[in-house]
A = this chain, B = another copy of it.
Amino acid sequence: METLRERKKQRTRDALLHAALELFTTRGYEATTVDDVAAAVDVSQRTFFRYFASKEEVAFVVQHMTEAAFVEGVRARPAHEAPMEALRQAVVDGWDRLHEAVSAVVPVELYLRMYQLIESTPVLLAAHLRRSMEVEEKIARILAEREGVDVDTDPRPRLVVAVFAGVIRVTERQWSTGEDFSLEAIRELTARYLDQVGPALAGDWRAP
């Protein structure tokens, strides 16, 4: 934080972010207007839009960090791990680093509430899914490079990532509608669900 100007800007941005998340999670996303957020920080609506391109964008600021952390997590996996293994490890032990990174910006509890809000607000859920797709594309390219194949001719990178993402989405949803919002819960759920994929696919579920 060099100059006074930069510090002021940072403060305004932080204030807007916090006011927005606080209002969103208490009143609801749709029920909160951009004017409300701006008023809470005592700046004009126009200023809000100079810091955030859209109302949606504020809602995803923290998510954005977690997405980036995951991508880096995958990139950092040792080369000898098979693709699926690398993804699994990146998620399972990515939660801790995530926890730290997030809590430096907002209270973790606020992040969790925001996550549930996203899952339960149709417009936000839609945006979340689209963002996830973009992340998937990045991951697919990373895997392709790791394994020395071409993303555009070999479908395997995108397929693995899509399958993995599907499982994660089911996991997230289960977690966000459950009762235990702890890190342990999500970690355990992730591991368990990933283990179930094989059996589920192979499945004759009716067997004893």
Binding site for B on A (CB under 8 A): 82-84, 122, 125-127, 129-130, 133, 147-149, 155-156, 158-160, 162-163, 165-167, 169-170, 174, 192-193, 196-197, 199-201, 203-206
Contact = CB atoms under 8 A, between A and B. Distances in A.
14 contacts: A82-B204, A126-B127, A129-B129, A129-B133, A133-B169, A156-B196, A156-B199, A156-B200, A156-B205, A158-B170, A162-B170, A163-B167, A163-B200, A163-B201
Contacts of A203: 82-84, 156, 160
A162 B155 contact: no
A203 to B, nearest CB: 6
A162 B156 contact: no
Please state the number of chain copies in the assembly.
2
A33 to B, nearest CB: 19
A176 B83 CA distance: 26
Contacts of A156: 196, 199-200, 203, 205
A206 B79 CA distance: 11
